């Protein structure tokens, strides 16, 4: 795994925090929580890197715990569908609703590579 040294300045207090992250190659994506050493403010970081040149890092900072938000929404959706399916099971033989398998983002690298990174989502269980 490539290592990414990152100096991050806290949005709240301005403290600089030095980090070293293990960055996966796309389509894998890692999630880290960065906690400011000074004020304890937490920022969520998603990061990945170009699978071709393995040197260009992409990262996304967010105050929201973005992957967890997406997963929670997706989970609610899956449960809703499962409920509908179960209530219909005496009446319909087969019940198929396509559920997105992953959330993905398209990225392009300076080396010319177009790639995507993704987070897998909860699936409908039998």
Contacting Zn ion (CB under 5 A), which of 21, 50, 119, 121? 50
Closer CB to Zn ion, 56 or 82, in the complex: 56
Q: Which of 27, 31, 107, 113 binds Zn ion (CB under 5 A)?
A: 113
Smallest distance from Zn ion to CB 120, Å: 23
- In the complex with Zn ion, the residue whose CB is nearer, 31 or 52, is 52
For the chain, the distance separating the N- and C-terminal CA atoms, rounded to the nearest angstrom, is 36
Q: According to the binding rule CB under 5 A, does residue 88 interact with Zn ion?
A: no
Q: DSSP E strands: which ranges in 3-113? A: 3-9, 16-22, 30-35, 42-49, 57-62, 102-108
| Residue 36 contacts Zn ion per CB under 5 A | yes
Query: For residues 34 and 8, is the Cβ–Cβ distance under 8 A?
Result: yes
Neighbours of 29 (CB within 10 A): 25
* Cβ distance to Zn ion smaller for residue 107 or 124: 107
């Amino acid at each position: 795994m490539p290592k990414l040294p990152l100096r991050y300045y806290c949005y709240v207090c301005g403290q600089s925090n030095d980090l070293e992250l293990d960055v996966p190659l796309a389509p894998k994506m890692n999630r880290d929580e960065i906690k400011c050493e000074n004020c304890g403010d937490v920022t969520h970081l998603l990061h990945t890197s170009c699978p071709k040149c393995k040197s260009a890092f992409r990262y996304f900072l967010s105050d929201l715990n973005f992957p967890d938000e997406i997963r929670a929404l997706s989970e609610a959706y899956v449960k809703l569908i499962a409920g509908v399916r179960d209530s219909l099971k005496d009446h319909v033989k087969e019940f198929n609703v396509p559920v997105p398998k992953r959330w993905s983002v398209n990225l392009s690298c300076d080396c010319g590579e177009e790639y995507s990174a993704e987070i897998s989502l909860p699936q409908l269980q039998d």
